[in-house]
Homo-oligomer: A and B are copies of this chain.
């Protein structure tokens, strides 16, 4: 079953926005069993939208457009497609009522251009959008289908997951069976994982079974793709490959699932061992706490944290000594350990973790270049500090520190001795 995507918006063509919608959609449709054959990125000119859509429908059974459904005057997708299909516009009372209510709740005045968002091509079906003001639209063209979605990623994803996926299954029926598993690793680079840990896996791959390395900041996701004539066959096809990967690289894998995050896995481990955590952050400035609390229900194990960005806060709120700051400096094993201990004790948590480093771009010295970070771990059982040297980039350094310190927590409470990237434990 072939699908094509049309991404609409000048901001994509001049490069102000990276087209992440197309890649997300590519994954989503591939998993549903579609073959995405082309992505067209075009500006929001009605004639171009119409020509591209007409052409896409010649090849594909499904065409999905994103973008060009916002409230400003240059958003013309909906009308262009209605014109192409010879449809008039009608005002949808349900959509109108929803948008009006949304605006009232937020105390925002309702304007004429908002009213236009409730206009729908007559004969098309509304895909009700609870995530925003622009509904999606579903066109049935004699057994081929056109789906028109807003370009805001969060709204597009909502509509794909909760409106479009079921309808696609309904109309396209059996598109073959595919099974995908996402094994998520942290604290190891792609080439080390591939060459040194996993080694040769070709004996487990064939026409129906493949795998891909998908690197992300802090680790690598292994995607295993299987197919078969039944659901069970598709699922079973990747079992041997998965078993082998777990055998060879099990302790690098923090869990499975496309959307699973490391902080979620850390949360699961904390809950399993009935532990609470508190964070003392200097160079990460709150990023570790932010990620830990992205998981719903994290209040069960996150006690809180202290962002000790200035040295005075390190002293007054965490019990770091002025002597240490003067003699070894804020970026040191001693201060990292004190911070971790201090935050656990003062906030009453079982585990305290800390970050203190030189995020950059300035502030580096020969002995402590930009990217030098100390991370501390403290619990009743054990405490240690870990030194890492990351990059020259401030944002990247914060991100890497966050991922490494969370992976240190996961491995330590799971009884795994080896630290991320083979880093070493230091004690005082």
Q: Which of A39, A73, A294 has the most CB of B within 10 A?
A: A39
A219 at the interface (CB under 8 A from B): no
Query: Chain B residues with Cβ under 8 A from A394's Cβ?
Result: 294, 296
Q: How many copies does the complex hold?
A: 2
- Which residues of chain B are within 8 angstroms of A304 by Cβ–Cβ distance? 306-310, 313, 317
Contact B38 A15 (CB under 8 A): no
Q: Across the two chains, which residue of chain B brings its CB closest to A71?
A: B191
A108 at the interface (CB under 8 A from B): yes
Query: Do B14 and A27 touch across chains, with their CB atoms under 8 A apart?
Result: yes
A284 at interface, CB cutoff 8 A: yes
User: Which B residues are in CB contact (< 8 Å) with A15?
Assistant: 22-28, 30, 36
Q: Does A223 contact B (CB under 8 A)?
A: yes
Check B107–A421 contact: CB distance below 8 A: yes
Whole-angstrom distance from the CB of A6 to the nearest CB of chain B? 10
The A253-301 residues at the B interface (CB cut-off 8 A) are 258, 279, 281, 284-290, 292-294, 296-299
Distance between Cα atoms of A27 and B39 in the complex (Å) = 19
| A398 within 8 A of partner (CB) | yes
Q: Are A284's CB and B290's CB within 8 A?
A: yes
Chain B minimum-CB-distance residue to A362: B296
Looking at A85-93, A138-146, A163-171, A210-218, the stretch in contact with chain B turns out to be A210-218
CA A353 to CA B352, docked complex, whole Å? 25
A17 and B23 contact, CB distance less than 8 A: yes
Interface check A111, CB cutoff 8 A: yes
Q: Which of chain A's residues 316-371 have a Cβ closer than 8 Å to chain B?
A: 316-317, 346-348, 359-362
Tell whether A46 is near chain B: CB-to-CB under 8 Å. no
Residue of B nearest to A23 (CB): B15
A43 at the interface (CB under 8 A from B): yes
Given contacts A22-B15, A191-B113, A304-B310, contact A294 B38 (CB under 8 A): no
Say how far A204's CB is from chain B's closest CB, in angstroms.
15
With A41-B41, A196-B109 already in contact, the answer to whether A289 and B293 are too (CB < 8 A) is: no
Report Cα–Cα, A194/B154, bound state, in Å: 22
| A294, B398: Cβ atoms closer than 8 Å | yes
Tell which of B26, B72, B309, B362 touches A14, judged by Cβ atoms closer than 8 Å: B26
Residues in B whose Cβ lies below 8 Å from that of A39:
12-13, 19, 39-41
Q: In the assembled complex, which residues on chain B have CB atoms less than 8 Å from the CB atom of A379? A: none
Residue of B nearest to A394 (CB): B296
A18/B20 in contact, CB under 8 A: yes
Question: For the complex, is A228 an interface residue (Cβ under 8 Å from B)?
Answer: no
Given contacts A107-B423, A293-B309, 15 further A-B contacts (CB under 8 A): A14-B26, A14-B30, A74-B212, A111-B191, A111-B192, A130-B392, A286-B292, A290-B290, A294-B394, A296-B361, A297-B362, A305-B309, A306-B307, A312-B348, A316-B346
Residues on A close to B: CB < 8 A? 10-20, 22-28, 30, 36-43, 48, 70-74, 105-109, 111-114, 130-131, 152, 154, 189-192, 194-196, 212-215, 223, 258, 279, 281, 284-290, 292-294, 296-299, 302-310, 312-313, 316-317, 346-348, 359-362, 389, 391-396, 398, 421-423
16 contacts between A and B (CB under 8 A): A12-B26, A15-B24, A15-B26, A15-B36, A16-B27, A70-B190, A106-B389, A108-B421, A281-B286, A285-B286, A286-B292, A287-B290, A296-B362, A299-B309, A302-B309, A303-B312
